[in-house]
Each structure stands twice: as C-alpha cells, then as structure tokens.
C-alpha cells in the first residue's frame, strides 16, 4: 500500500508541476502577443496620413466658394448676399 500512496504522490507532484509550467508558458505567450500588438499599433500610428487640415477653411470666402461649387453640381443654386 505504501507503493500506491507514493506513486500517487509522485503523480500529483508531476501533474502540479506540469500545470504550473503550462501556466508560465501561456503567460509568456500572452506577453509576446501583447508586445506584438503594441508594436503594430505604434507602426500604424507612425504611418497614418495626416492629410486632414488643422483649419477646415482658411476664410469664409473659401467656404462660400466651395458651397457654391457643390451646389452648382447638384443644380441647387446658392444666392450670394450683397
């Protein structure tokens, strides 16, 4: 009977070691994946085009001209105030 108890204790020890080792390996895998995601996001941020103007329209006149051009294409004339 002592052999069975010792065998079960050894088996439990090996099982616990395997579970802990698998957990540590999974933690390293998750850390690696997160670092890759971080690098990809940094690359995306560096490579994005910043073609959006900081000021949409420099003057009111340019906005009015743009509105007239769009309205002319849509056949909806915009009257000019004097």
Could you read off the pLDDT of 18-65 as tens digits, one per residue? 999 999 999 999 999 999 999 999 998 888 866 655 565 566 677 788
Secondary structure letter of residue 58 according to DSSP = S
* Token reading at 72: 């002319």
What does the pLDDT read at residue 30? 97
d(CA 39, CA 23): 24
* Token reading at 76: 């909806």
Mean pLDDT of the 6-20 span: 95
Query: Whole-prediction pTM value?
Result: 0.49
Query: What length is written for the chain?
Result: 82
């Amino acid at each position: 009977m002592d052999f069975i108890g010792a065998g079960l204790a050894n088996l439990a020890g090996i099982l616990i070691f395997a579970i802990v080792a698998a957990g540590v390996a999974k933690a390293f895998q998750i850390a690696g994946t997160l670092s890759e995601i971080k690098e990809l996001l940094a690359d995306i941020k560096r490579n994005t085009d910043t073609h959006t103007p900081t000021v949409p329209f420099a003057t009111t006149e340019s906005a009015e001209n743009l509105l007239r051009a769009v309205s002319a294409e849509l056949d909806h004339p915009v009257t000019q105030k004097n």
